[in-house]
């Protein structure tokens, strides 16, 4: 399977303007993401897809591969679909530009889901067990619940499942990590659907797949997530970067 990684990189951000160009150590956030994905060696190509020349130049002038996005898009998947339409690939990974620390093992596990001859996976993604109460309650942390076969049932910014009877053991909670993998035809199909009601309400793009009858196959990762949504997240990412550099 020819597999490529596309990194959607939108300049504007409601909660943290120009977050991808913020310094994180000696690099910008978007360069950390690009370099870490490239270093895995898992992909025939890694491309940043952006709507802004500053991000385009930040990648290309440091030896990377970036493409300009022509159209306005509602989601990262819509943005990478524009680029993917002209690319030769069977499997496309969408790594969010604000996820600078996704590691090789997590991406390899995601790709492996498409190799099962007994099940044709159309879309897959990652999740990580949440241990901090603040993240369970944080609306910037998207939660996911799955069935026994690790297929997604729902994604929400609210705590799901709801722990009604506090005398019962607390259920496990999982954070949805912003990395997707698609068969190319599934990604192209996504762009033909209108934004759905649940997607509009939650502002979670993968709900468009669920509302159109396609479940996401989920894989558990133990790697740390350091998604940067708000300025406070950048400080936590700095602390994590210092930690791993000093190991």
Tens of pLDDT, residues 133-155: 999 999 989 999 999 999 999 99
Per-residue confidence (pLDDT) for residue 229, from 0 to 100: 81
d(CA 53, CA 67): 10
| Confidence band of 247 (pLDDT split at 50, 70, 90) | low
d(CA 86, CA 187): 13
Tens of pLDDT, residues 189-230: 998 999 999 999 999 999 999 999 999 999 999 876 677 888
DSSP state of 158: S
Tens of pLDDT, residues 55-84: 999 999 999 999 998 767 777 788 889 899
Tens of pLDDT, residues 231-246: 888 988 998 888 888 7
d(CA 155, CA 198): 10
Q: Which residue has the higher pLDDT, 182 or 222?
A: 182
Per-residue confidence (pLDDT) for residue 210, from 0 to 100: 97
Pick from 164, 157, 162, 163: nearest CA to 138: 157
d(CA 221, CA 165): 29
pLDDT at residue 108 greater than cutoff 90: yes
Going from the C-alpha of 68 to that of each of 17, 29, 56, 151, the distances in angstroms are 19, 18, 7, 34
Per-residue confidence (pLDDT) for residue 181, from 0 to 100: 96
* Six token digits for residue 4: 């490529």
Asked if residue 178 lies in contact with residue 77, where contact means CB atoms within 8 angstroms, the answer is: no
d(CA 73, CA 51): 9
In the beta sheet, which residues pair with residue 3?
Answer: 91
Given the DSSP bridges, would you call strands 123-129 and 23-24 parallel, antiparallel or unpaired?
Answer: unpaired
- Per the structure, the complete domain to which residue 18 belongs is given by 3-245
Residue indicated by tokens 């690939």: 89
Percent of the chain with pLDDT over 90: 70
Asked if residue 174 lies in contact with residue 141, where contact means CB atoms within 8 angstroms, the answer is: no
DSSP H helices, 44-166, are 53-60, 76-84, 104-112, 133-137
Per-residue confidence (pLDDT) for residue 157, from 0 to 100: 97
Q: What is the CATH number of the domain that holds 103?
A: 3.90.550.10
What's the number of domains the chain is made of?
Answer: 1
Chain mean pLDDT for the chain = 91
């Amino acid at each position: 399977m020819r597999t490529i990684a596309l990194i959607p990189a939108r300049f504007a951000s409601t909660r943290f303007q120009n977050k991808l160009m913020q310094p994180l150590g000696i690099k910008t956030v978007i360069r950390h993401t690009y370099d870490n994905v490239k270093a895995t060696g898992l992909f025939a190509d890694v491309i940043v897809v952006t709507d802004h020349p500053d991000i385009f130049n930040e990648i290309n002038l440091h030896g990377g591969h970036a493409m300009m996005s022509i159209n306005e898009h509602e989601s990262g998947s819509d943005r990478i679909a524009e680029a993917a339409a002209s690319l030769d690939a069977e499997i496309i990974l969408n790594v969010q530009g604000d996820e600078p620390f996704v590691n090789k093992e997590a991406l390899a596990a995601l790709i492996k889901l498409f190799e099962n001859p007994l099940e044709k996976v159309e879309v897959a993604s990652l999740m990580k067990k949440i241990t901090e109460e603040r993240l369970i309650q944080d609306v910037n942390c998207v939660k996911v619940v799955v069935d026994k076969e690790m297929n997604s049932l729902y994604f929400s910014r609210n705590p799901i499942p709801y722990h009604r009877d506090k005398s019962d053991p607390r259920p496990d909670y999982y954070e949805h990590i912003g990395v997707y993998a698609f068969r190319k035809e599934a990604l192209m199909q996504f762009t033909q659907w209108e934004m759905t009601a649940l997607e509009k309400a939650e502002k979670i793009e993968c709900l468009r797949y669920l509302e159109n009858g396609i479940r996401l196959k989920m894989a558990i990762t133990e790697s740390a997530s350091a998604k940067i949504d708000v300025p406070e997240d950048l400080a936590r990412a700095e602390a994590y970067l210092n930690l791993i550099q000093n190991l």
